[in-house]
Amino acid sequence: MKIRFLILVFLAIISFQDIYSQSAPKYSNEFLAIGISARSMAMGNSTIASSNDVSSAYWNPANLTFIPYDLELGAMHASYFAGLAAYDYLGGAAKIDEKTAFGISIIRFGVDDIPNTLELIDNDGNIRYDRIKSFSVADWAFLFSYAKISNIEGLRYGGNVKIIRRVAGDFAGAWGFGLDLSARYDKGNWIFGAMARDVTSTFNAWSFNTSQLEEVFVLTGNEIPENSLEITLPRLLLGAGRKFDISEKFTGLVELDADFTFDGKRNVLVKGDPISIDPHLGFEIGFKDLLFFRGGVSNFQKVPDFDNKNVMTFQPNIGLGIKIKRLSIDYALTDIGNQSIALYSNVFSLRYGITRN
């Protein structure tokens, strides 16, 4: 029965891809592809198989069954584009019993305090700076996660129900809904993970308020937008890792992940139509379960250089972690991927565990 279910899920992914691949935008809801947790970002987002904390609700909900506390809370903040955009995460996960767990996550990517100068000039032609207002453009995601340990030895499974809210001030807004399914299988020191994101496609229903902008659209010759439906096609994330002991005090973890997209050629390492594959690799070295050093490579792309020749680039990532009793503090230093002009982002995240006793 379980094999039949997995086959049906795979067929559903292919069916939705065939139906919508011609009209769906390639990069819908891309803020949900950035990732959360400084630990994962330091490892090049290679934690589909190995995540074992509250952030698993995003990476692989099945792994929520590994949280070491009755309740674990997590938070993250990162700045993008020289501080113009803020990327934040807040989540919690709890054990229901020995075999099941659930989680709630909130993710926001937004640009705030954007000046609205539509009313800068009054009816008499005077410039009125006091009439300038501000608005935000933000993407929100609310994840409700569930995980359970299967009766099959080594197998765990889980999923997410996602609610998407996207706003552009008072001018436009969208509500969306989607589902994720995931699994993890352990065999000795080997771990395998799978995440079917937006498994039935995620639909964002947009509505526009163009009353303030109608004159601008007419003067510029642009079409006035109408209410529309935006579709996010499924993607499949696979991961394989291995845990090992370096010595009595040091432990190690290596994981290789690959993201499969079904919407045609993308600028990734393996380009195809309709399937493209984006691999990424990460590692973690731990000392007495107290200090951690992490690194990874991701975002392999071909970009034109100064001679207009395509060269292969990649995104290096490094990070550190410290665990003080129930508190874990993680840090990641990530490069946006341009090797000639390195722009780095500093990412911090926290985790705190709570037990009933």
CATH number at residue 222: 2.40.160.40
Q: Which residues contact 170 (CB under 8 A, 6 or more apart)?
A: 135, 209, 212
Locate 63 and state its tokens.
Answer: 């792994």
pTM for the model stands at 0.83
Q: What is the DSSP string of 206-263?
A: EEE--TTTHHHHHHHTPPPP--EEEEE--EEEEEEEEEEESSSSEEEEEEEEEEEE-S
Total domains in the chain come to 1
Locate 342 and state its tokens.
Answer: 């390195």
Task: State the Cα–Cα distance between residues 227 and 272, nearest whole angstrom.
Answer: 32
Q: What is the DSSP string of 288-341?
A: TTTEEEEEEEEEEEEEE-TTS-EEEEEEEEEEEEEEETTEEEEEEEEE-S-SSS
Provide φ and ψ at 290, rounded to 5°: -125, -50
Choose among 79, 127, 13: nearest CA to 336.
79
The domain of 202 spans 2-354
Task: State the Cα–Cα distance between residues 316 and 245, nearest whole angstrom.
Answer: 25
Q: Is 162 left (phi over 0), alpha (psi -120 to 50) or beta?
A: beta
Provide φ and ψ at 218, rounded to 5°: -65, -45
- The one-digit pLDDT tens for each residue of the chain (357 residues) are 444 433 334 444 444 444 444 445 556 788 888 899 999 999 999 999 999 999 999 999 999 999 989 999 999 998 877 678 889 999 999 999 999 999 999 999 998 878 877 666 767 677 777 777 788 889 999 999 999 999 999 999 999 999 999 998 888 889 999 999 999 999 999 999 999 999 988 888 888 876 766 666 666 666 666 667 888 889 999 999 999 999 999 999 999 999 999 888 888 888 888 899 999 999 999 999 999 999 999 988 877 777 777 788 888 999 999 999 999 999 999 864 444 445 677 899 999 999 987
Helix (H, G, I), strand (E, B) or coil at 67: coil
What are 32-56's pLDDT values in tens digits?
888 999 999 999 999 999 999 999 9
Choose among 87, 106, 111, 99: nearest CA to 38.
87
Residue 122 CB: number of other CB atoms within 10 A?
A: 10
Task: Return the CA Rg of the chain.
Answer: 22
